[in-house]
Amino acid sequence: MLLLVGLGNPGSRYVGNRHNIGYMAVDEIVRRHGFGPWRGRFQGQAAEGRMSGLKLLALKPETYMNESGRSVGEALRFYKLEPEALLVFHDEIDLRFGKVKVKRGGGPGGHNGLRSIDAHIGQDYRRVRLGVGHPGHKDLVHPHVLKDFSKDEVMTVDKLIDAVAGELPKLIAGDDGAFMSRIAFLMAPPKPPPKPPPPPEATEEAPSAAPEDAETTD
């Protein structure tokens, strides 16, 4: 069994925030792969599904970002799972907008949701880092992540979330490298090589006239 956790804040005022891209990813996973309905469990919303014979539980903690570990820890203890069975989808300011990286272990990198999870279960779990870009200065980080994606960004977010949900089987199989490579390709497919110029049109030259026989005089 695997636990798929999307980080975010509950409530309508946060729905479009950059900080809620983890919620968005898990919502699309549940929709795309036909999970069961959302139900209130583990201090959050949970939905069950299966993939490749493996049971999956999607979870959106409703404890607010800074207390995400309470919800995640409760779910892991209920199913008697180790941290290795956890996959967390979250916003990442240290990645360019639209980029994705998968990481196992390591510190929270200033992310309060990860910090809370670390405090409850340790650090030995996988994180799917969804790039939302950096505002340029540390004092701007808080308002940046709690602000909605702009209209220009929404199309890229939708494309990213669709790609993450579509390539989920690679994550489930533990092939993080293939997952990241495929997402990178889908987000920025290589441009086709330019078509070679057409060959110049052949022009038919009129046959040259045969030389007249030279006249001879006696």
Residues with catalytic roles: 19
DSSP secondary structure string, 92-107? ETTS-TT-EEEEES--
Termini Cα distance of the chain: 114
In the DSSP assignment, the letter for residue 95 is S
**Sheet strands side by side (includes 100-104):** 39-41, 44-51, 54-61, 2-6, 86-92, 126-131, 100-104
Q: Which two tokens stand for residue 43?
A: 């201090």
d(CA 190, CA 118): 38
